Amino acid sequence: MSESLTSAARRDLRKELVRLRLEMHRQQLLYNAQPLTHPLQQFRQMRQGDPANVKTPLMVGAGVLLTLFGGRLGTFGKVARAALMLYPVVRGVKAVKKPSVEHYHR
């Protein structure tokens, strides 16, 4: 059914596979390095988007502080981390319940 590959054809296929893998790894490195090379752009992207999922500077700062010192704070640290995780959910619920301005103009 299938033809036997010659050694030259196998070598060419392996070269192509290696080239594709290298390109994939290069693209992954560029993607993962983007927040490091363009921090202001990353911050702007965090501020835009769905209003329920916007990360405020206060949330970012609290996340950094809890990451650094959360283990030392004991029970308070655990409660603060839980509150930080639930904050976007509560904010999203409030955004859904909040009537729009267009509703009043009809």
DSSP codes of every residue in 42-61? HHHHHHSS-GGG---HHHHH
Indicate whether 31 and 48 sit together in one domain: no
Q: Other C-beta atoms within 10 Å of 46: how many?
A: 15
> Taking a C-beta distance cutoff of 8 angstroms, is the pair 66, 84 a contact?
yes
The model's pTM is 0.37
* CA distance linking residue 64 with residue 46, whole number of Å: 15
Residue 17: predicted pLDDT: 97
List the domain range (segments joined by +) for residue 73: 39-100
Indicate whether 31 and 43 sit together in one domain: no
Q: What token pair was written down for 87? A: 């904050």
* CA distance linking residue 38 with residue 31, whole number of Å: 11
Tell me how many domains the chain contains: 2
Question: pLDDT of the chain along its 106 residues, tens only?
Answer: 456 778 989 999 999 999 999 999 999 999 888 877 777 776 666 666 555 555 677 777 777 777 777 777 788 877 877 777 777 777 777 766 766 555 555 5
Indicate whether 28 and 47 sit together in one domain: no
Whether 72 is in a domain gets the answer: yes
